[in-house]
Structure formats: structure tokens, C-alpha cells
Amino acid sequence: MARYVERNALRAKLVDRAEDGPWSSLWRRVPGDPRLTGFLSEWPVERPRHWGARGTHPEMASELEALRTCVQRGRPFGSEPWVVRMAKRLGLEPTLRARGRPKGS
């Protein structure tokens, strides 16, 4: 999800590289300068090692589709077992089912 957000300017063709957008948190994280990153919020989980390099790698089409589906449906995003567990915990099971009425058997 963070990679998707930090690559928005690149996908919109506003910059040539994801880390070039000065309004992006990736632009602030990549140099590792505490003066630039000092006001950014901590992530709720540990950021992967070498995030700057990983954050600039493009998403696969399947990742983008899955993420956009989760955003549209209000569904948790992650591995299938985690998504199912979180959907149950948060009462979001309907977001896991296909939209519309079930087809007749």
C-alpha cells in the first residue's frame, strides 16, 4: 500500500522517478536525512529494509488490481489468510464476497 501511495506522482507522469516528487514521503525518506524525515509519522509496522529502493520498484498489474479492489470494496489488503482474519475481526466479511445477488443454482 505504501509503495502504491509513494508512486502516485510517477503513475500520474508528474515525475520521472518516484523519489523525485518533493511533496512525496519517499522523496523525504530516500536520502535518509533526519531533517527531512523528522516530521513524518512512524509506520504502524516496521518498514522493510532498503525501503527507498523497494519503494521505487513498479507494482505488478495484479498488485494494482488487487489494491484498487480493496480500496473500492473497503476490504483489508494483504495476504489472503490475513485478509480473511482481519475481515472477520472487523466485521468486513461482506467485502470478501462478490458484489450483487448470488447467482441461482
Instruction: Domain of residue 89: give its range.
Output: 61-96
Whether 56 shows a pLDDT value over 90: the answer reads: no
Ramachandran region, residue 84 (left: φ > 0; alpha: ψ -120 to 50; beta: rest): alpha
Length, in residues, of the chain:
105
- Asked if residue 28 and residue 14 are part of one domain, the reply reads yes
Please give the average per-residue pLDDT across 33-48, as a whole number: 77
Provide the H-helix boundaries in the chain.
Answer: 2-6, 8-11, 25-29, 34-37, 51-55, 61-73, 80-90
User: How far is CA 7 from each of CA 38, 76, 89, rounded to the nearest angstrom?
Assistant: 21, 20, 30
pTM greater than 0.95: no
Q: Is residue 105 part of a domain?
A: no
Q: What pLDDT was estimated at residue 91?
A: 93
Q: Total structural domains in the chain?
A: 2
Q: Is pLDDT at 81 greater than 70 in this prediction?
A: yes
Q: Please, are residues 37 and 28 in contact by the beta-carbon 8 Å criterion?
A: yes
Residue 101 falls inside a structural domain: no
